[in-house]
Amino acid sequence: MRKSIITALLLLPLIAASPAVGEGFAGYPPLTAEERVELYQQEAPQRLAQAQKMAEQARNGTLDYASAKQIRSALQEDMETWRDVFAIGSEHWDAMRHEWLVKRKLSAEEWAERRVAWFAARDSWMATHRSSQLALLQ
């Protein structure tokens, strides 16, 4: 699966700061918190729709293009992007990571369902942390 554009944009300031590879990116200012949230809000619905489609296909037995490992990786990417955009603290991140990115072996269908469920958990988190999200933008 492709890396999301927001992940690439979030990494741009780090790449630009690197003398080894950043020379081609010199002159690009780092994204503001508001820009990161805006990009996230633009891309997140597409990622959710992708997750829902995969879960439906897995339930119907027609998910033949993604393995359990690939779906777990997509969930991890979704979670890491959320963490980076909203500056999630390490304690909260560790709890979420241990809850959602379990070590036990799951089927592609189980990972697809888990990914959709994570988006619901993320939405719940965002609803209860709206004031801190607004503070992030200031």
Domain that holds residue 37: 32-136
Residue pair 51/74 in contact (Cβ under 8 Å)? The answer is yes
Is residue 66 in a domain? yes
User: How many structural domains are present in the chain?
Assistant: 1
Specify the pLDDT at position 21.
41
For the chain, what is the largest distance between any 2 Cα atoms, rounded to a whole number of angstroms?
50
Asked whether residue 92 is assigned to any structural domain, the reply reads yes
Report yes or no on 117 lying in a domain. yes
In a domain, 38, yes or no: yes
Whether 42 maps to a domain, the answer reads yes
Walking along the chain (138 residues) 10 residues at a time, the average pLDDT comes out as 53 47 54 86 93 93 87 96 91 93 94 96 85 57
Q: Is residue 64 part of a domain?
A: yes
Helix (H, G, I), strand (E, B) or coil at 29: coil
Q: How far is CA 121 from CA 10, 82, 110, 127, 138, in A?
A: 23, 12, 16, 10, 25
pLDDT at 11: 53
Amino acid 93: pLDDT: 93
Smallest CA-to-CA distance from 122 within 29, 44, 21, 13 is with 44
Answer yes or no: is 132 within a domain.
yes
